[in-house]
Structure 1
Amino acid sequence: MFTAFDKVFTPENILYLAKGALISLLIAAVSLVLGLILGILGSTAKRSKYRIFRIIGNVYVEVIRGTPMLLQILLLFSVVPSLYTALTGDILRINTYVIGAIAMSINSGAYSTELIRSGINGVDKGQWEACETLGLSHWQTMKMVVLPQAFKIIIPPVISEFITLIKDSSLISCIGAVELLKGAQVIGAKYFDVMSPYCVAAIFYLIMTLSVSYLGRYIERKLAASD
């Protein structure tokens, strides 16, 4: 099973996998931030008094949450360039890392929409009434009062979402992006031993996810102490 472990476990290969792990972490972080932005927009749309915005928000959440992320990545990778070529006659080439980050951001945005919406709903209604009494607009109320409290409520699920994104970053290997999993596959093919690099990759994934989990618990304790 580990026929080439001594050849795989070298400083050069470990550094190569560490770079892949860093790429996975960066893509997950970018996707989380962009996903939270989309989540704010999505939750605002779902809470809008205008029916058309509520429909758009609901369709976005249901379609994205109801289809696999892998399918979404493949659609962006193959279908979008094909449509562009069919419409314009030009060839569209998009960096695979950009495609992966966009697809993961869109996917994360759908889940963040529900997280933020539940966080907003968790803010005491008295806060809204107090802001209305002070003459604050809806946007001012959201920006200065509601959203800060809502994000405090949803810190634990956001940390869980970040951990999920770190693991799901492995899906972009299917379109040729060299992140941690793809790096392990490259090394495995080189030495005809996939088990050894896969185990090393698993250790890197555990280090990243456990570190984020610990950081999340640390932030929760700090927020609890500030109450």
Structure 2
Amino acid sequence: MRWSHPELGEVSPGRFIPLAEETGLVRQLGLFALRQACECAVRWPVPLTVAVNVSARQLVEVKFPQQVSEILNETGLAAQRLCLEITESTLMHQSAVSLLEQIRALGVALSIDDFGTGYSSLAYLKQLPVDSIKLDQTFVRGLPDDASDTAIARAVIALGRSLKLTVVAEGVEREEQSEYLRELGCDAVQGYLISRPMPANEVTPWLSRAEAACAQ
């Protein structure tokens, strides 16, 4: 999500999302982003999963699972093609777990974003209805040379595999990082190595080119 301001230009979410969180406007922004993502994904030439970040403020609203269901029905996106990403701090809200279970019952996947930077409790993690964890880019930047990053990456990937969770590494920018993560058994990567962020209307042509390249 970007804010195209007539005077400020393209404003990054790092600047306006914290203010939206503070004012409560993030609820409307979150639903807007979810609907836009689902509408775009329906038109993609390949049935990939689309992941959407969810605010902690959304996960304390009892009507949120119903809102997710309505957006899926209205846009026509299969629930299995949607993944909602939540932060570890979100899980500190007791009401969140119940709502997550309702969302999971729809067939929607759930992922813990920026894993390792919040308030992880391994005892709590095994009880959560999540499908994947995302290794934060903080622990990816130094791969494969930094000893601390390699130790943490190896541990998180091993933890995910033990719990039968998919592990996605964030912030992958170099081929050697991707190759090292593959050797560790990481399931997927995201980052500038794959693509930089792009406007929604550019995704479909990009996917078509990528699909054609893979078919060759």
- Whichever structure has more helix as a proportion of its residues is 1
Establish whether TM, by shorter chain, passes 0.5: no
Query: Which one scores higher on RCO, CA 8 angstroms, separation ≥ 6?
Result: 1
Tell me which interval the TM-score lies in, with the shorter structure as reference length: under 0.3
Computing the radius of gyration over CA atoms, which structure comes out larger, 1 or 2? Answer: 1
